[in-house]
Structure 1
Amino acid sequence: MTFHWNVANPNFDTLGYITAVANIKDKHDKSAPSDYHWKILKCRIIIFSNSSILASPDKKNLKQIHIIFNKTGDDYDKINSLFLKFSLIQDGSIKKTTADIFEMCFVYTMTAKIAPLWNTIGTNYLINNRDFLTTKGPQDGLQYHIASNESSTYIEVKPVKIVIIMELEGDFAPGEYVRVLPSLNKAIVEEHHNSFPEMCAFKFYKDLRRHWKNIHGYRLPEQDCSSYYVIRFWRGEPLTYPSICVTRNLPVIIPMRKYVEETVIFKFIRDLRSKMSGILGMPLIIQENRNYAPSTSRQENNESLVETQEVSLCTPTQACPWSTYNKY
């Protein structure tokens, strides 16, 4: 069963929208070795440093971050202080917020804040387990779609069971195609290591663990992993992945029994209200919509997924040097 909820948007006339450019030439934190992840890290720090704004990294531009704020308060002054602190520069003037930009920033901010209670899997799935990487069998999750207009943001959620297929036998061979969490993008194995590799962007496992937490919200196990893979994508430098984040198969999505669906929905709405209690200077007002008329969401989906079909998850992350964002 699919559930529909409405979030009341602030008046768009009271909102400002700016883009910021990250200085990728400044000294990177050791948990964010690539320019791309350095931008992601700065965006997430902005989100967690100011609870009333919405923000999202640009999907294509290496340096750009999108930010929405309430013009009637002091958010703009706070944002400028954060820009000075974290080496960001406003790109252009304050612009009018559009529904497309609002939706993009709402989705990214929401998924950042509710992790690790709900972890991103692929483009439109969430899994409800902080320790999902080491949990076997079906786990509670949601398929979600979000669409915004100038008055409301519509959240459509369908409770499902998600099965992450972990490899039980054998290692991945160099040259083999695999899927990597959290994006479940396809990549190629370059090397396999039975211990943390010396030639790695991260000096210790704890640095790799912080990287995953601060870029994607994932909590890797405290214990060092049994093996690691050097993975190459179609562009950029190869990255080191723990074996628990590499798989040959996409996860399996299984329909959930109706009598437990409402329990999962209740947990999601409760956690969303807890982790994202305010939005752009006003309380988060979210109500069930029983008269929802489906509309096309602006969200981009990499794959069209159906129940019981194998689907894909997400990729690794980096860590944050600032103590306000480095709590486990």
Structure 2
Amino acid sequence: MSGAQRSLFFLGLPDLKNLVCVTLTLFDEEPRSKQIKTCRELVLLYSDILASPALESFTDITVVMAIPFFQKGVLQAFGQRRGLQLGSPRGVFPGDLQCCLSYSLISRLSPSWNKAGLYLVSGKDFLSERGTQSAVSMELSTTEGQLCISINTHTVRLSPTTLEDFNLPPLVLRRFCSDPDSVLDPSSTGGTVWCHVLPSMKKGQIITISRQLPRDGPFRTYTDLQNHWNSLYGYRLPELPEAELVYCSVYFRLLGETLFTYPLSCIRLQPAQCCPRGDLQGALDSFLSDVRDRVQSVCGFPARLTRKPCYHTTSLNSAASAQVQSREQVNLTLPPPSGPSSPSSLLHLPDQ
């Protein structure tokens, strides 16, 4: 069930000594979008590369690969074609590998599994789904030459927003639908209208609703917007006739006075709701199948995900073992220390 014990799976990783890390730096007027697009393109183009947008910069991309792959000059040629600056190669830290693994895996899983806040939601048409949907939440950690993937399965409801949800008068809605140049102020019915925008589910304020893209914006057509969302996040925006296209201008307090335009299909008035029912085992099996299909190697080194899940188990502690644990807490994501095991919480690792 949703919220139940997490399933842990393990993936062997190559020795960091066999890998190299390089930073790509881009120069663009809209660095954040270009950074994500370039990083995603790199990950989807080369299966032997792992990459991630740098956490502390809107212009840098962290790339991890095997040393022989770097020596082939593939990354250098990619950077030259895109006008990117390549930093000097350096050793790989565990944090580099973990960040690049996480971003690369999520990118390669879409559109089968799509990021929506803390969830990965199943199905390329999830934006239009009005019923419940399968989803997973996933945490990655690297230690001792292996990747631990902690997975929890959920059934969620992430229903698309409609114009009727704004509680506008019927006459106003009819006028809006009949006039392509009409603009709505959703707060006119009283109070600020808050929303959550995909994929981050960040909270913002809807300022206006219109049927046209802003004339001073970067997109001229809905097709341009579809391509943009696909290249950024792997989202497949629904195919809609022109008469049904609706856009929202959203204000984010922490980002200044700039308004950001979103298609209505990527706006939610409520956060994702967890539901108690659903085929959670089926969702887990489907997700693992997709992960295995997309992670058959790590930087060109063969990799195999464990077949059976592992679980944290807790048993009653004796007074003696409690005293031992009080001095040194056991990290359950690490292998237990050598020697006789105490009846404390252990992580049981099944055969692969």
Name the TM-score class by shorter chain: 0.7 to 0.9
Higher relative contact order (CA 8 A, sep 6+): 1
Report what 2:340 is aligned to: none
Q: Work out the CA distance in 1 between the residues paired with 2:205 and 2:72.
A: 43
Report what 2:317 is aligned to: none
Q: Against the structure 1 CA distance between its residues 240 and 291, is the aligned structure 2 distance closer, same or farther, given a 3 Å change threshold?
A: closer
On the 8 A contact 1:6/1:154 being kept in 2, the answer is: yes
Report the residue type matching 1:22 in the other structure. Answer: L
Cα offset, 1:110, TM superposition: 0.4
Cα offset, 1:215, TM superposition: 0.3
Q: Against the structure 1 CA distance between its residues 256 and 79, is the aligned structure 2 distance closer, same or farther, given a 3 Å change threshold?
A: farther
Q: Work out the CA distance in 2 between the residues paired with 1:114 and 1:290.
A: 20
Cα offset, 1:142, TM superposition: 0.7
On the 8 A contact 1:197/1:228 being kept in 2, the answer is: no
Report what 2:9 is aligned to: 5
Report what 1:45 is aligned to: 41
Alignment of 1:124-143 (within 5 A): 124-143=118-137
Report what 1:163 is aligned to: 157
Structure (1 or 2) with the greater helix fraction? 2
Q: Against the structure 1 CA distance between its residues 255 and 10, is the aligned structure 2 distance closer, same or farther, given a 3 Å change threshold?
A: farther
Q: Does 1:145 align with 2:166?
A: no
On the 8 A contact 1:191/1:229 being kept in 2, the answer is: yes
On the 8 A contact 1:36/1:62 being kept in 2, the answer is: yes
Alignment of 1:32-181 (within 5 A): 34-74=30-70, 77-91=73-87, 93-122=88-117, 124-168=118-162, 169-171=164-166, 173=186, 176-181=193-198
Identity of aligned residues (%): 22
On the 8 A contact 1:159/1:256 being kept in 2, the answer is: no
With 58-67 and 126-135 compared, the bigger mean Cα shift is at 58-67
Report what 2:227 is aligned to: 210
Alignment of 1:177-188 (within 5 A): 177-188=194-205
Report the residue type matching 1:98 in the other structure. Answer: F
Q: Does 1:248 align with 2:257?
A: no
Q: Work out the CA distance in 1 between the residues paired with 2:71 and 2:224.
A: 32
Q: Work out the CA distance in 2 between the residues paired with 1:276 and 1:202.
A: 35
Q: Work out the CA distance in 1 between the residues paired with 2:159 and 2:286.
A: 25
Q: Against the structure 1 CA distance between its residues 125 and 295, is the aligned structure 2 distance closer, same or farther, given a 3 Å change threshold?
A: farther
Cα offset, 1:167, TM superposition: 3.7
With 93-102 and 48-57 compared, the bigger mean Cα shift is at 93-102
Q: Work out the CA distance in 1 between the residues paired with 2:307 and 2:64.
A: 25
Deviation by residue 1:132-152 (Cα, 9 ceiling, x = unmatched): 110111101112111112401
Alignment TM-score, normalising by the size of structure 1: 0.80
On the 8 A contact 1:159/1:255 being kept in 2, the answer is: no
Match of 2:209 among 188, 192, 195: 192
Deviation by residue 1:223-257 (Cα, 9 ceiling, x = unmatched): 24531111122226422111121122111123455
Cα offset, 1:36, TM superposition: 1.0
With 95-104 and 228-237 compared, the bigger mean Cα shift is at 228-237
Deviation by residue 1:122-173 (Cα, 9 ceiling, x = unmatched): 1x31111110110111101112111112401101111110111444534372
Report the residue type matching 2:268 in the other structure. Answer: T
What is the RMSD computed on CA atoms of the aligned residues? 2.3
Q: Does 1:280 align with 2:299?
A: yes
Cα offset, 1:15, TM superposition: 0.6
Q: Work out the CA distance in 2 between the residues paired with 1:255 and 1:159.
A: 11
Q: Highest Rg: 1 or 2?
A: 2
Report what 2:255 is aligned to: 235
On the 8 A contact 1:173/1:192 being kept in 2, the answer is: yes
Report what 1:326 is aligned to: none
Consecutive unaligned residues of structure 2, counting only runs of 5 or more, are 167-184, 313-330, 335-352
On the 8 A contact 2:19/2:66 being kept in 1, the answer is: yes
**Aligned pair count?**
285
Consecutive unaligned residues of structure 1, counting only runs of 5 or more, are 26-33, 298-328
